[in-house]
Amino acid sequence: MRKNLPNILTVSRIIMVMIFVVLATLANHYYLAESCVFPLRLGAYILAILAGTTDLLDGHLARRWNQITDFGALMDPLADKIFVTATMLIAVEYRLMPAWIAVAVLCREFMVTGLRTLAAKKQVVISADRWGKLKTALQMVMLAIAGASWVWEFDLYSEKWFHIRLWYVWNAYLWGIVLVTVLSGLGYFIRFRHLFSQDCLYLLKDVVHSFIFSVSSQCLQQLF
């Protein structure tokens, strides 16, 4: 069991996310009895928390037990993207956060994934840095708060705690997440710019040559 536990956790995360999406979608159907809505939402919320926990455990256990496999290296980041995408889309569907927050987070996730794919082709491993870990922790807390407001039906935009509207606190937190997300993504690209700088230089040369050729052609046509 110990030998395969990290991979089992990774696969279980994908399965839990699929069930989470089904439960969250069913909870939004108008034909359900009101008594069924809360259990469905609570079940979806618990699954999301468990899936997020496996995200923290599988990589840690694989490194600690020296059980890093090709399957885990492929499926762990894929499972992470499935989890983040699913939870963000559900949060947007239920208006727990603005759509642009999800777009910013998902764009960063897929751009860094592309960078890691490029690095893997060049035998370079890009591990998570402190900014990346902070980003993940903040996102998990954000999803936990948004999920709790969804399950227990308190409005993050109108409720008041200690005479302070949660709208201000929640929006400040969301802006903070976006800032950390963008900075962490930029950090990866700056640190590993040598992986693509040569390709960008070739691309820039092609663009300049094409531009010069186009301008020269237009000038010659005007002259003759």
Whether residue 109 is predicted with pLDDT greater than 90 in this model: the reply is no
Enter the pTM of the model: 0.77
Q: What value does the mean pLDDT take over residues 100-128? A: 81
Confidence of residue 137 (pLDDT cuts 50, 70, 90): confident
User: How much is the pLDDT for 55?
Assistant: 78
pLDDT per residue as tens digits for the range 191-207: 888 777 666 656 556 65
Q: Is 32 left (phi over 0), alpha (psi -120 to 50) or beta?
A: beta
Encode pLDDT of 7-61 as tens digits.
Answer: 888 899 999 999 999 999 888 776 677 778 889 999 999 999 999 888 778 777 7
- 128-135: average pLDDT: 80
1-5, 31-35, 78-82, 216-220, range with greatest mean pLDDT: 78-82
Question: Is the confidence at residue 85, as pLDDT, over 60?
Answer: yes
Average pLDDT, the chain: 80
Cβ-contact 65, 2 below 8 angstroms: yes
pLDDT above 70 covers a percentage of the chain that reads 81
Residue 42 pLDDT = 93
Report the pLDDT value the prediction gives residue 1, as an integer from 0 to 100.
Answer: 45
Percent share of the chain, pLDDT over 90: 13
Per-residue model confidence as pLDDT tens digits over 145-163: 888 888 888 777 666 666 6
